[in-house]
Amino acid sequence: MRKTTVPPTPTLPRKGGGRPQSGQTLIMFAITMTFIFLSLIALVGDADTLMVRYNQVNSEALLGAQTGASDVWVAGLYQANPVYQLDASNAPQACQSIHLSGGTPSTHQIRCQMSGNDAVTATVTWQVTLPIPLFMTTATVSATRTGQAVFGGRQVTTAP
């Protein structure tokens, strides 16, 4: 076998008097990382806002369900045969009468409905505006809670 040598590849002279060019990769990496870190800051800010709003919506839904479930039919308790049930005409209105803090009526709403004779279900939704709109400007946060009336160990009865 015969050994052959490969001639070196000719290089073109560099601009700028032959100074070596170094650090280009570092500059590109720094610019890329800047955009990545800014995106992460936006995501963390938006996630924090959504967690705070979810806790608020969850508390409001629980408060609404408890308020509706505590509205018992008082007149039925004083009958000869007591009737243990919610006041079907007032329980949903009592649930919806809670104060919703923050937002506007078009973005922050509560819906309440009866679940049988002894429970009220409250659903609170909030269209939240994100503080750092990177991918979207708003997100919907929702929570649903059910409150059940308790009559001291007695079963729910209906009016005769």
pLDDT at position 159: 62
- CB distance 117 to 156 below 8 Å: yes
Element (H, E) at 140: strand 138-148
pLDDT at position 101: 86
Q: What is the tens place of the pLDDT at every residue in 17-64?
A: 556 666 788 899 999 999 999 989 999 999 999 999 999 999 999 999
What's 81's DSSP letter?
S
Q: Which residues of the chain have pLDDT under 50?
A: none
Domain parsing of the chain, residue ranges: 25-148
Please tell me whether the overall predicted TM-score, pTM, comes out greater than 0.85 for this model: no
